[in-house]
Structure 1
Amino acid sequence: MDSIQRIIDNLPPELRWRGGLSRHGTVSEGHNAQIANIFITSFHLRSNLVQKYGTRDEIVAEHQRIVDDLLEILYHLPQCVFNANGSSIVPKVRDIGAVYLEHHMIADNPNRDQAKEKMEMILRKLNDLDCWSALTLSGRWDSGAARSPSGVHLAAK
């Protein structure tokens, strides 16, 4: 875990996450796509490591931090960033959400309502990200895609 954090701490200024703060002057949408990919991949790695080697209490505590950080990235970067690499991000976000759900939505969790709210935020963002998987590189909807009851195309499964 420390190695992952050292890598994140030593990223070039263009690839550092600053939340809503002003960014390095040369940051482009390409940098933002890389930031999303780097950070979400690091969250996924942390999730896998703590799941494999951590105790139940460590898993719960670390996943709380991971989900808080994940939501920060998901809700502060523009949608076009996720459109660029959503197909690589979606499985990682799903995995993180599944572990969070498993460990935080248990009956004896005193923070169950807060965990439910965060899980709903993850699911809303996954819904947005999955929407783009029906688009082809030409920008047209996949003709094999289904329609939802609201008329929105859904990716063919």
Structure 2
Amino acid sequence: MFFIRGYVIRTGGYASKVKLDVVEYLVPYQLGKFNSIAWTVLFAPFLEEILFFAIPSMFGFWYTVTGLVTWASVHIGRIAYGLRFMTSTVDRIGATISYAMFISLHGWLSLWLWSIGFGLLSIVLHSLHNALCVLTIVFAKRFEKRKYWVKYKIF
């Protein structure tokens, strides 16, 4: 069960009136822009890599795979925000599968880097990936405010 912006969400059940207003539900946006970016780019990748890959890798391969599956499950849940904008079931299924594949590949890269002793590189790559995601969101919001996407019709 999760508590997000005044709504109670029960996992495994269906809640028809739940509307997720945030893309990254684990990022504390109420702290302000700088602190939320610092959380997303610096703290979260470090914490996730240590919690889901470093600690399990001390106990063996299958513990690390379990950490990978848990890490991927947390990240795959974020696609719920984007799915509400898609009208076609085929588009929703395709987006879910492609995002799951992307997250799984990213997780396998982290698992491999930790298993060969390059955990610090894994943390740096994770931070770089999150920084690129933040930059993408910043640029998208700027274009949305200027309405360029309407003028040039990208899609």
State the TM-score, normalizing by the size of structure 2: 0.31
Greater helix proportion? 2
Larger relative contact order (Cα-Cα within 8 Å, sequence gap ≥ 6):
2
